[in-house]
């Protein structure tokens, strides 16, 4: 069974700092990997989706990379803002539409 691990569990940074969130997974046979943002009472919002054949995806200040062979993905956030404060989840999807989620990184960006 796929195991997804996220490090660190929590992170507190001053506004403006660049930061990296890490995600590792045990089974490289994934269909895609997705990064989500979770805000209290608002469910999950998809940030970036990387297909298994891709190496990275970018959206605005966010960049996600995928190294399937080593079972790793990173989410890079540039010039962090207080509005980025949330829990960030990574999830792998297999060929049967099943998602496996990490336990998340809780990010706090201080003004």
Partner 1 sequence: SAVISQKPSRDICQRGTSLTIQCQVDSQVTMMFWYRQQPGQSLTLIATANQGSEATYESGFVIDKFPISRPNLTFSTLTVSNMSPEDSSIYLCSANLDTQYFGPGTRLTVL
* Chain contacts with partner 1 (rule: CB under 8 A): 4, 34, 36, 41-46, 49, 89, 91, 93, 97-99, 101-104
- Considering the complex, what minimum distance in angstroms separates the CB of residue 85 from partner 1? 18
CB nearer partner 1, residue 42 or residue 83? 42
> Max Cα separation, the chain?
42
Residues whose CB falls within 8 Å of the CB of residue 103, separated by 6 or more in sequence, listed in order: 5, 6, 9
Using the minimum distance from each CB to partner 1, give the nearer residue, 18 or 59.
59
Torsion of CA 33, 68, 97, 37, to 10 degrees: -20
Q: How far is the CB of 45 from partner 1 (least distance, A)?
A: 8
């Amino acid at each position: 069974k796929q195991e997804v691990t996220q490090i660190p569990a929590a992170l507190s940074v001053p506004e403006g700092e660049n930061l990296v969130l890490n995600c590792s997974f045990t089974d490289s046979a994934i269909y895609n990997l997705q990064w989500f943002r979770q805000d209290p009472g608002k469910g999950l919002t998809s940030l970036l989706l990387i297909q298994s054949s891709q190496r990275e995806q970018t959206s605005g200040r966010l960049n996600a990379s995928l190294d399937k062979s080593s079972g790793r993905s990173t989410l890079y956030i540039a010039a962090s803002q207080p509005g980025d404060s949330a829990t960030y989840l990574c999830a792998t999807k297999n060929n049967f539409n099943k998602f496996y989620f990490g336990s998340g990184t809780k990010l706090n960006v201080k003004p």
